[in-house]
Structure 1
Amino acid sequence: MSVLGIDQITYGTDDLLLARRFFQDWGLSLASESADELVFECLNGCRVIVAAMDKPGLPTAIEEGPTLREVVWGVETEADLGRYADAIRNDPGFMDVVVDGARRIGCTDPNGLAVRLQVTRKHAVPEVRSAQMNTWSDRPRVNAPAPVYERATPIEVGHVVFFVADVKAVEAFYASRLGFVSSDRYPNRGAFMRCAPKGGHHDLFLLQLPTGKRGINHVAFTVRDIHEVFGGGLHFSRCGWETQLGPGRHPVSSAYFWYFKNPAGGLIEYYADEDELTADWQPRDFEPGPTVFAEWAVDGGLDGHTRRQRGAEAGGKFLTEKK
């Protein structure tokens, strides 16, 4: 029994019209909309809900302004759901309800976030094809160019990152109640956690700041490969959205990234090529710092039109041509 991953997230926003354009530009499909709620889907059915901040029933925010209000994790079976219900039954905010005809359980984590579980509604995406990488020792891509993407179509919400007031308490909650496993740590500062012993480097990252701030840092969307990170980021840049940092590469998880500012709260990330871990993995300790966060990164992003760093001149047909 283990959590499979993120099934759904919910934002609370003060500008639904702006959020509609933002998430459609990001590459999500609009599944439905009403006066106070937008429902988007990734390729595998993972949902992103954006609701008006004053919508009745919206979980309480852990910070002021637009932010992430709820994370729904998927499990495999109804029996799994029952066992998790027993595990969290005595936690604050416990709930056991029916949503859209299916059972959903939940509680409030030690950071104040609404945590929910349901039998997963995600589905396989057999048509997804990722680029094969030719290296010195392994050259699987033969007589075929690597892909070039005009935009991204995210597969799913891959992980969420929160600022927490007490990283040890929140890490212990996800480990003891939901069976999450620690991947790596910033001792007393941060915890990278995955849903199960076998899986991607992290589904959840908890970061404690000296100020004790609580809130969303970012939501990360999985794309096929590094080429889609670039293609998606360039398209999003052409749409006029502002880069926070990237493209770049994380040395801790090995993933390539590109972060943008999100009007619905925090940051939003395209990422690909994270490490795959098993039960044999031993968590490492890192001292947080710029070179630990990013092996390399482009400050300000790339311009979607010139395909170069913002502000860089792009004259000439070839780089070898001289003015």
Structure 2
Amino acid sequence: MNNRNELYRLATQQPARHPQPTVKARDLTHLIFQRPDLNEAARFLTDFGLTVSRQEAETLYLRATDATAYCYRVQRAEQARFIGFGLAVQSLADLEKLTRIPGASSVEKSEHPGNGYYVRLTDPSGFVVEAVFGQAPGKTLAHRAPLHWNLAPEQPRINATQRPPIAPAQVLKLGHIVLEVADYQATCAWYTQHFGFIPSDVQVLSDGTPIVTFMRLDLGDIPADHHTLAIAQGFMATYSHSAYEVVDADAVGMGQRVLRERGWSHSWGIGRHILGSQIFDYWQDPWGDKHEHYCDGDLFTAARPMGIHPVSPEAMAQWGPRMPRRFTKPKLSLANLILLIRNLRRSPDLTLRKLVTLMRMFG
């Protein structure tokens, strides 16, 4: 289907902006994982560029260089899995509004770094969302400045060389989280309705069916990252990857060198995305979960309308290596096969035809 207006009509049923969201999230604050080995988790994450801010017997906290108490929480558990993430809201009144959502907790005091208050919710796909207010910021950590490039129209670096330090890429901030879900429509609608997320770009199949939504925060006239949350159609609810901003392209490249030399598994990169424009590089932690270094991403205000784009492997990057099939290949197990059959019977968004189309397209 080549008619862009028809693609837009079909894809705007959902996702779409909600006219009166419950609250408007202000930031992505942290991720929550469970891991059997906190020391091994710390070894990868510090090589990746995060800094340990607190380590307890059962919980590990790591942070970026920006003024936050922490951005990554690892809880000791027998099985490795992703639990959920945190979103900052504007006030205690916002937290009270969120308590009225079915299944939400009451407003509780936080005992995590930075303290404050939170409400714990569960989205339609089973991911935990901790809405946070009043968390005290941490001190900004020092990081190197962006390198000055000698470009054709302007060449500021005279009688000087480029020698970035051989060290892990310093993570400036937690940038975004990408989830795969079976209940695509309901999950997208939950985030637009309750946290005011704005769809920036939607990727669709040839019949106009939306398959991936990149969502940004609604900060009004203040520019926001192209996406803080992305939701993709899958056959079960699972973590796809999380992304972390670094200072420049040399930091992305140096991060690759250090992680490769220290024996970690590379996933995909270096390249530049089409939607979001980030220069990217993906790495796997000890449990196979993908973590992305990026820089030079797009920033949109609330005025920017939603874009509609055909989905394909070629639509993932402007340049760089082709996305490997293993990047989107699901973890197959007996339990996951049972879940696939159950979701095919249960979910209105997951059909055999759609599943076969995605498998042929992405392997």
TM-score by length of 2: 0.72
2:170 is aligned, of 138, 153, 157, to 153
Find the counterpart in structure 1 of residue 279 from structure 2. Answer: 256
Find the counterpart in structure 2 of residue 111 from structure 1. Answer: 125
1:203 is aligned to 2:228: yes
Go from structure 1 to structure 2 and tell me whether the alpha carbon gap of 1:264 and 1:47 turns closer, same or farther (over 3 Å shift): farther
Could you say which structure has the higher strand fraction?
1
Find the counterpart in structure 2 of residue 247 from structure 1. Answer: 270
* RMSD of aligned residue pairs (Cα, Å): 2.5
Tell whether the 8 Å contact from 2:199 to 2:213 is kept in structure 1 after alignment: yes
SS of match in other structure, 1:154: coil
1:131 is aligned to 2:147: yes
Find the counterpart in structure 2 of residue 171 from structure 1. Answer: 188
1:83 is aligned to 2:94: yes
**How far is the alpha carbon of 1:272 from its aligned partner?**
0.6
2:313 is aligned, of 275, 287, 290, to 290
**How far is the alpha carbon of 1:140 from its aligned partner?**
7.0
Point out where structure 2 has 5 or more consecutive residues left out of the alignment. Answer: 1-22, 205-209, 325-363
Q: Structure 2: how far apart are the matches of 1:256 and 1:189?
A: 23
1:227 is aligned, of 234, 250, 261, to 250
2:239 is aligned, of 203, 216, 220, to 216
SS of match in other structure, 2:247: coil
- After superposition, the C-alpha distances for 1:74-130 in whole angstroms (9 at most, x for unaligned) are 23x4xx242243145223243421112421112111111110121244457485532
- After superposition, the C-alpha distances for 1:176-202 in whole angstroms (9 at most, x for unaligned) are 111111100123211100112531110
Find the counterpart in structure 2 of residue 304 from structure 1. Answer: none
Go from structure 1 to structure 2 and tell me whether the alpha carbon gap of 1:189 and 1:222 turns closer, same or farther (over 3 Å shift): same
Q: Structure 2: how far apart are the matches of 1:110 and 1:94?
A: 15
Could you say which structure has the higher helix fraction?
2
Go from structure 1 to structure 2 and tell me whether the alpha carbon gap of 1:2 and 1:121 turns closer, same or farther (over 3 Å shift): farther
- After superposition, the C-alpha distances for 1:274-305 in whole angstroms (9 at most, x for unaligned) are 1111123121112221211122234799xxxx
SS of match in other structure, 1:171: helix
- After superposition, the C-alpha distances for 1:112-164 in whole angstroms (9 at most, x for unaligned) are 11101212444574855323555555x37443655624221101111000111
Go from structure 1 to structure 2 and tell me whether the alpha carbon gap of 1:67 and 1:134 turns closer, same or farther (over 3 Å shift): farther
Q: Structure 2: how far apart are the matches of 1:4 and 1:72?
A: 11
Q: Which amino acid is 1:236 matched to?
A: L
Go from structure 1 to structure 2 and tell me whether the alpha carbon gap of 1:288 and 1:36 turns closer, same or farther (over 3 Å shift): same
**How far is the alpha carbon of 1:225 from its aligned partner?**
1.2
TM-score by length of 1: 0.80
Tell whether the 8 Å contact from 1:194 to 1:204 is kept in structure 2 after alignment: yes
Tell whether the 8 Å contact from 1:218 to 1:268 is kept in structure 2 after alignment: yes
1:94 is aligned to 2:105: yes
Identical aligned residues as a percent: 24
Find the counterpart in structure 2 of residue 316 from structure 1. Answer: none
Find the counterpart in structure 2 of residue 18 from structure 1. Answer: 40
Point out where structure 1 has 5 or more consecutive residues left out of the alignment. Answer: 55-64, 302-323
Find the counterpart in structure 1 of residue 354 from structure 2. Answer: none
Go from structure 1 to structure 2 and tell me whether the alpha carbon gap of 1:234 and 1:10 turns closer, same or farther (over 3 Å shift): same
1:27 is aligned to 2:40: no
Find the counterpart in structure 2 of residue 37 from structure 1. Answer: 59
